[in-house]
Each structure stands twice: as structure tokens, then as C-alpha cells.
Amino acid sequence: MLPRYSRPDMVKIWSPEAKFRIWFDIEAHACDAMADIGVIPRESANAVWKAKDFKFDIARIDEIEAVTKHDVIAFLTHLAEIIGSDEARFVHQGMTSSDVLDTCFNIQLVRAADILIADIDALLEVLKKRAYEHKHTLRIGRSHGIHAEPTTMGLTFARFYAEMDRNRTRMYTARAEIATGAISGAVGTFANIDPQVEIYVCDKLGLIPETISTQVIPRDRHAAFFVTLGIVASSIENIATEIRHMQRTEVLEAEECFSKGQKGSSAMPHKRNPVLAENLTGLARLVRSAVVPALENVTLWHERDISHSSVERNIGPDTTVTLDFALVRLTQVIEELVVYPENMLKNINKCRGLVMSQRVLLALTQAGVSRENAYKLVQRNAMKVWDEDKNFQTELLADVDVMTALSKEEVLKQFDLDYHTKHVDTIFARVFKSQ
């Protein structure tokens, strides 16, 4: 978690102060629940809340942990120092450290998910705005990196919108799956703590009780969560890669905003590089690197081991902080992206009409020419454009076999660019159907 790629609200979720505050809430609510069912005295439960507004001493907890080699015990010892040893004697009764750690981790992931969903919402808004702005802005579509047929810049933005909209749904699903808590005690049998305590604590913290938790909450839930983050990151890279292509000198259909005073290269003063999109590509790789470890965390020994713990201490903060930053950066890039419609039209015309080859092919078959022969007629003229720098339309009009099947007007008709945008409204209605 580098400050360079971090935003304060997400970082705060993973701070020691936030973590210990959640630990306290879990323990205090558990005491309230146990008092309600008569397991511990009400006055003992009330005493715990004396620490409600206390600023926990991180250094002191670290000092205790250096001796105990156990983070939860260190916290509980510090809590007893605050509220008094006698008042603290019922704290953590019947619980195990995993009850605190796992429930806390899930709360942190839920809070992180809320920020990420808000980030995606903001990105969707910008993508929609740019899509409608360039709804009919003609652009060449490419397959295998080669000019194919005309499309529009609006459809490009709409495609990215639809992908991110699916990611929004995935994030809601991941949030729901991770929003569970477990207060079930050693090996998860509730032998020393009533299941009602778990229900009470989860309700207070906005969670649902884990169906069955052994001593840890099952890690398939967390795997699904981090896989979802990886998919969102891949979508970011998908968009960033398109921008990087568009900004290439020989393409220049769009480029990142180059602000006043910005420098492109330490050696070449003329450069304007797609540095933000390249950065997003790298950040996406970083987020995806957490996916395999999260999947491997699903396999734990028996009712508990901690092989997952060190992994999650890293990937929890790192992936959510990084993805939060990346989503916000991408939103800014899309918002400020400079689009060049004239260059897009120039690129369409670079192949001197070749991008209309399918239209000519279909016109010939409609005129009674077999598909095989029509393909040959079109291809032989297309190859002259590639190899001899000819004009496709001119060559077709000079081809006796083509002109036998088609009139001049029919040939010229196939080069109408608007033909390719006739269903843009239909596609937009599908993409933005709920808008």
C-alpha cells in the first residue's frame, strides 16, 4: 500500500485505529448479548462501554504483543487496563480470537466494497456522458489490430459502460457474500457461547451470522470477493489499453489530457505519453496478483489454521486501496479524454475504401453472384489497394465482372458511412435500458 496510489478514506479502513475500534465493538456487543441472556452481570457489560470513546494506545498494544506473541490477547490486555481488570473479566467469554479477527476482516471488506461501488457508480456516470457525447462520432473498428468496419466512439464508451455495469453487479454480490460474522467459539460449536450472542453482534454490525464457521469463516467467500476485484481490475486494464492504442502517434484518435506545465519526457520535449493509462495497466496487474493467493486460502487444515492470515493482512488493504485509486484515476482520465473526430475519419479513409468490402460482397450475392465468386471478385480488387496503393471504389468500378452484376449507383451506395450507424440507437437502448 503505497501513499502514491492511496486515497485517505480507503486507507482509513485498514488503519490500526479502525481495526481496534471494530474489535472493541465486537467484544462490547458480545458482552451486551451475554448480559441480556443472563450469562454475565449487566453492570460488567456496561463497564466495557467505558472505553467507547477511548483512543487506544497502538504503541502499548504493540508492546504487550511483543511479549504475548498474540495480537488479540494484547488488545484485550490493553482493554483491561482501560476499564479495569475486574470489569474486564467477562470480556471475550466463550469466544476465540478468530471470532474477532474474521468478523472484523469482513466488516473492513464490506466498508471497502461500499467505497468501490461508489467509485464504479462515478465511473459509470462519466462513461455514459462520453458515450452520448460521441454517440455518432464515426471511428474505425479493428479486428486483430487491422481496420475492419466503421463503428462509433459512442459505442466504444457504451461497451465499457456495459462491462463496468456488470462489475457493479458483481461487487454487490461480493459484498453480500462477505457480509457475514462468526461468534461461535473454539472450533465453531457454540459450546461456550450461545448462538444468540452471534445473532445479536451481527445485527449490531450490519452482518448476517455465518451458517457454519468451524473456527474460521469459510474462505471461499473471500476468494469470490478478491476474484471480483480482479475482474474489475481487468476491466480497468481493458479500457486503459484502448486509450493507449488511441493515443499512438499514427492513430491519435484520442489522448489523455496534457495539463499546463506537464512534461512528457526527460529527454524528448515533444512527447505526450499515455502515462495514466499505462499506470492503470500496472495497477490492474497488482490487484490481480491477489487472486491466486485468495483462491489458495480456501484450503485450510481441519477446523482452523492461520496459513491464510499473512496473505489477507497484505491483500486486504493492498487490493482495495489500489483498486479504489485506479477506479478514481480512470474516471478522471475518461472525463478529461481529448477526442479527435477528424483523425478518426482520416483513419477510416486510410485504407481507401477497403473497410466497405463486406458491403460490396453482400451486394454481389444479393445480385445473384455466388458467395465464393463474389468473395473472389472483392478480394482481387482489395489486394490491389493493399499491394499497389489503389482506390477500392475506383477498382471496383473498373472491374467488368463487378459491373456486370452491379450498377455504378449500386457500387457507390455501398460506401455510405451512415449505413454502419443505423442501429446505434438500438444498441444504446439495450446498454442504458434502465437509465
3-state SS, one letter per residue, for the chain: CCHHHCCHHHHHHCCHHHHHHHHHHHHHHHHHHHHHCCCCCHHHHHHHHHHCCCCCCHHHHHHHHHHHCCHHHHHHHHHHHHHCCCCCCCCCCCCCHHHHHHHHHHHHHHHHHHHHHHHHHHHHHHHHHHHHHCCCCEEEEEECCEEEEEEEHHHHHHHHHHHHHHHHHHHHHHHHHHCEECCCCHHHCCCCCCHHHHHHHHHHHCCEECCCCCCCCCCHHHHHHHHHHHHHHHHHHHHHHHHHHHCCCCCCCEECCCCCCCCCCCCCCCCCCCHHHHHHHHHHHHHHCCHHHHHHCCCCCCCCCCCCHHHHHHHHHHHHHHHHHHHHHHHHHHHHCEECHHHHHHHHHCCCCHHHHHHHHHHHHHCCCCHHHHHHHHHHHHHHHHHHCCCHHHHHHCCHHHHHHCCHHHHHHCCCHHHHHCCHHHHHHHHCCCC
| Pick from 142, 129, 148: nearest CA to 339 | 129
| Per-residue pLDDT tens digits for 20-34 | 999 999 999 999 999
Residue 263: the pLDDT is 81
Task: Give the C-alpha separation, 219 to 319, whole Å.
Answer: 17
Burial readout 103-124 (b: 16 or more C-beta within 10 A, e: otherwise): bbbbbbbbbbbebbbebbebbb
Query: What's the average model confidence in pLDDT over 118-124?
Result: 98
pLDDT at 257: 87
Amino acid type, 363 = A
Tell me yes or no: is domain 95-259+269-351 CATH 3.60.21.10.
no
Q: What is the pLDDT of residue 172?
A: 98
Predicted local confidence at residue 228, as pLDDT: 98
User: C-alpha cell of 232?
Assistant: 474489475
Q: What does the pLDDT average to over 354-366?
A: 95
Residue 266: CB atoms within 10 A of its CB come to 7
With a pLDDT cut of 90, the percent of the chain lying above it is 91
Lowest mean pLDDT among 64-78, 375-389, 421-435: 421-435
Q: How do residues 198-223 score in pLDDT, each as one tens digit?
A: 999 999 999 999 999 998 999 999 99
Average pLDDT, the chain: 95
- For the domain spanning 354-414, the CATH number is 1.10.40.30
Q: Enter the pTM of the model.
A: 0.94
Contacts of 21 by beta carbon, 8 Å cutoff, 6+ apart: 56
CB atoms within 10 A of CB 265: 10
Q: What is the third-level CATH fold of 1-93?
A: Fumarase C; Chain B, domain 1 (1.10.275)
pLDDT at residue 415, as a whole number: 95
281 and 240 Cβ atoms separated by less than 8 Å? yes
Does the pLDDT at position 268 exceed 90? no
431 CB burial (10 A radius; 0-12, 13-18, 19+): buried
Please give the average per-residue pLDDT across 294-322, as a whole number.
93
Residue 426 pLDDT greater than 90, yes or no: yes
pLDDT: is 283 or 269 the higher one? 283
Q: For residue 435, what pLDDT is reported?
A: 52
| Whole-angstrom distance, CA of residue 299 vs CA of residue 233 | 25
Nearest-CA neighbor of 30 among 205, 156, 228? 205
Beta pairing class for 208-209 and 180-181: parallel
Average pLDDT, integer, range 86-100:
94
**What's CA 368's distance to the chain center, in Å?**
50
Cα separation, 78 vs 192, in Å, equals 24
d(CA 398, CA 419): 24
Cell triple for 55: 483512543
Measured CA to CA in angstroms, residue 227 lies from 120, 131, 304 at distances of 16, 28, 23
Confidence of residue 2 (pLDDT cuts 50, 70, 90): confident
Q: Exposed, middle or buried: residue 163 (CB in 10 Å: 0-12, 13-18, 19+)?
A: middle
Whole-angstrom Cα distance, residue 237 to residue 228? Answer: 14
Catalytic site residues? Answer: 144, 265
The reported pLDDT for the residue numbered 191 is 95
Q: How high is the pLDDT of residue 403?
A: 92
The average pLDDT across 397-417 equals: 94
Q: What pLDDT, on the 0 to 100 scale, is given for residue 369? A: 94
Please give the grid coordinates belonging to residue 194.
450461545
Cα-Cα end-to-end distance for the chain: 36
More confident residue, 307 or 10: 10
Instruction: Give the residue extent of every domain in the chain.
Output: 1-93, 95-259+269-351, 354-414
Give percent of the chain above pLDDT 70: 99
The confidence band for 434, taking pLDDT boundaries of 50, 70 and 90, is low
Q: What is the separation of C-alpha 400 from the centre of its chain, rounded to a whole number of angstroms? A: 55
